[in-house]
Amino acid sequence: MKKLVFLFLSASILLSACIKEDVTVDNALPVVQTISAKKLPNNQVLLTGQVIREGAAPIDILGFCYNKKQEPALIDNQIDVNPKTGTFNAIVDEMYPLDTIYFNTYAGNQYGYTTGKSLKYVVENNIAPTVPCVMDSNSFYDGAFTSQNGFVYKSTTQVVRGKLAIIGNFSNDDIRIEFNTLNPTNGVYTVGDLSSNDPTKCYARITNYQFEDGGKIYVTENGDGTYWVSFCELIYYVGSFNAKAKGRLKVYN
């Protein structure tokens, strides 16, 4: 940012003094365009911009600024890029389905700096996953018995490790699945450590037994504010006994 301030001050001095006859207010600064954002695998977003005109001097700085809550200021999350010409790109990490990013381009040369037009991008939702087993609504199989018509609800106050708990009370067992996000969306979540705040991880247990890490939880949105939370082969141990559980829970927002 210090470099941008210096360039801005330099522009004011140089342009007012008319150091070079062929340099004018209209042609001194670069011109950049903010083009697009695109969802990539691994929860990344690709930003694209373009240098329309270099200006009266070579471009010294070029890149993007972004903010996940509001229109970005020039100093917000700057990403400098190379080479400093033509179409240019940058990658933003940790962008999950339905997240919003506001981003803009900037460029500067010895006469000052300029920005493009700020754009807003909402990350597309994932495609609903294919669940590899079939269960009735609000039913649960603990490896020996099937329970149906369980009472299913969500809670942010009864969490143990995550941010949102989905709890199913059945006649034989209680199921608890905790997500690292308040808004689970279409996708496959993995049972594992939640300390990294990775929103693709979840915590799961049956009554007094924790499910083994690596198990898969499938979330399928229904488009009416409800969603299914399904699992097909969650492994847990009772002593040395290995059991596989499966279930299907309907959650209301």
Tell me what pLDDT residue 236 has: 96
pTM of the model: 0.70
Q: Does residue 130 lie within any of the structural domains?
A: no
Tell me what pLDDT residue 197 has: 81
**In this structure, are 56 and 111 located in the same domain?**
yes
Q: Where a domain ends, among 91, 122, 153?
A: 122
pLDDT of residue 30 exceeding 90, the answer is yes
Structural domain for 199, as ranges: 139-252
Tell me what pLDDT residue 164 has: 96
Q: Does residue 230 lie within any of the structural domains?
A: yes
Residue 116 CB coordination number (10 Å): 20
Question: Distance between CA atoms of 29 and 38, rounded to whole angstroms?
Answer: 28
* pLDDT tens digits along 150-174: 999 999 999 999 999 999 999 889 9
CATH number of the domain residue 8 falls in: 2.60.40.10
Percent of the chain with pLDDT over 90: 78
**In this structure, are 68 and 177 located in the same domain?**
no
**In this structure, are 69 and 153 located in the same domain?**
no
Q: Does residue 19 lie within any of the structural domains?
A: yes
Q: Does residue 246 lie within any of the structural domains?
A: yes
Question: Distance between CA atoms of 90 and 77, rounded to whole angstroms?
Answer: 12
Number of domains in the chain: 2
